[in-house]
Chain A
Amino acid sequence: MKPRPYWNPYAAGLLLGLVLLATFYVTGQGLGASAFAKRVVAMGTHRVAPAWTERNPALGHYVEGGANPLRNWLVIEVIGVFMGGFIGALSAGRLRATVERGPRISRRGRLWLAFSGGAVMGVAAGLARGCTSGQALTGGALLATGSWAFMMMVFAGGYAGAWFVRRQWT
């Protein structure tokens, strides 16, 4: 089956903006993504090394006072993102197991870059206290000072790195 075309980016952006606005009005906060990894990691390390996790400046506050790090709005929200992505891909005929890459890179090379890129973003989202969802999108819409600085630097980092990995895509 031939996949349906993507939406006009402004239409997709409008829907995304309305979802974000609804999140502001309903919850008094914004959307997020990297909190999921942070909370899952905090739960894992807390099982293995409770004292270390509680002391750790990056993870400690997720387990403060014996709280379950997964009992959190953002964790459930990310599960919703997965469901929305799945239903979206299924209904558009885009659901298929692939490794997306250009013709000039091996499957293994692409997977290594995907993994290391994900790891770099994990460090970055830890340092910046958020990612493109919680900082750029949410903080950007709230006109938060640091989130705009963050967003500019994401674009700067992407353009700075683009030349080095160009073979991955085309």
Chain B
Amino acid sequence: MMAILFPLDMLGEQANLLTAIVLGFGFGFALERAGFGSPRKLAAQFYLYDMSVFKVMFTAILVAMVGFYAGTAFGWVDFGRMWIVPTFIWAQLVGGFLLGVGFIMSGLCPGTSVVSLASGRIDGAVAFIGGFAGTFLFALLMDWFPGLQRLYDGGSLGASVLPAVLRVPGPWLALGVVVLAGLAFAGVEKLERRFQRGVAGEFAPSDSSGTEVPARPVSAAAARGRWSLVGALALVAILAGLVPVSHPPVPSAEVAAIEPSRLADALIAGEPNLMLIDMRNDAGGSIPGAVRPAPGMAAATLVESAAPGAEVVLFDADGTLTQLPGEWPRGPRYRVLRGGYRGWEQEVLTPKPLAGAPPGELAELQRQHGIASFFSGTKIEPQKGTPPPPAALPGGASKPKKAGGC
């Protein structure tokens, strides 16, 4: 089945560049036409007298969401090849709140600051430059406070999507979001009308710098258009939901864990049917033989190349991953690494010291030290019982990973 129409890696550099310019242009143009170059209009969202941010953002989300989930149901697009924004719940909760605070301070978000700058606003340019300062500051903070890494990697669920978490098929969940958003649109327009009275007269034409705040009242035609759009999206979602799913994906259930020491043994033995997938987004160090999803690919697609009956081991940074994130093909046996990469570091790479160990455990400890030096690549203490060099590990060298989506 035809999947993503023009996967980026199939295109030449020139065509690749052209899609970025064209789609970026459409993004910027739509934001400008919505009035999102204007910080006052954006900020008005948070004083309830112009809820354009909510309306524009959710209309866009509904259109793309229904288009995407209907596309997967109709077989136009392959879910597994889509790059799903990975979940790091704690980092996203804290980062989201902080971004909201920065949003109301500047009246812009990183994307709209580009549009604001492009429409001549000096405050937009200053907010855009502030973004560079903050980006640099975050890099410094990560360097100064290594403990921040725990928050940065906190709550990793990999490519987790709500249909898998809530166990509702994608199109039906999309329908629920469409219905709720449709009702919310009507609700926020009521709110707008109420709060516009509160600010009426505060917008002297002289200081409006050509922007319309608050929003014009919603005309009857606009309200009809809004209901037609919501209705059409709901209809598409229903049609997509009625398409029989030919290959039921593996439900996102709890999967068994594998101990780091067992994984180490299997890797040393060169298990031919073992596939190791690194689900971390940005982190240092790796386990030899681990593969990472290539740019623009969901991790689940890596498994398609695995032999039936293969064993697939997934690991994240700290072992928060206990479920299969997203939808995965049937066939292989899935396991998660207990404790994630941190568990690997603690259990395999840093064995207990040999000095003072009771004689009965000495042989086992020496074996563990051998394993540790084997994986860390540094001879901790040359000992007999060093495991033999493994055959070529399955999966090959780790691939370049996907950079942040935003």
Contact = CB atoms under 8 A, between A and B. Distances in A.
Nearest to B233: A17
B138 A58 contact: yes
Contact of A125 (B4, B97, B203, B406): B406
Given A82-B28, A114-B130, A153-B96, A119 B119 contact: no
B33 A92 contact: yes
Interface in A12-62: 12-41, 45, 52, 55-62
A20 to B, nearest CB: 4
B403 interface: yes
B297 A41 contact: no
A13 B55 contact: yes
Interface size class of B (residues with CB under 8 A): 35 or more
Nearest to A59: B139
Contacts of B396: none
A46 B84 CA distance: 29
B59 interface: yes
Most central of B22, B89, B119 by chain A CB within 10 Å:
B119
B44 interface: yes
Interface in B40-74: 40-41, 43-47, 52, 55-65, 67-69, 71
Interface stretch (B5-13, B265-273, B351-359, B379-387): B5-13
Contact of B110 (A34, A58, A148, A159): A34
Given A89-B37, A143-B65, A111 B123 contact: yes
Contacts of B120: 89, 95-98
Interface in A88-136: 88-89, 92-103, 110-111, 113-136
B91 A131 contact: no
A86 B82 contact: no
B30 interface: yes
A143 B162 contact: yes
Given A146-B87, A152-B96, 5 more contacts: A21-B68, A34-B110, A96-B120, A101-B40, A122-B135
Closest 8 CB pairs of A and B: A122-B134, A134-B406, A80-B24, A157-B100, A118-B130, A13-B59, A17-B63, A128-B95
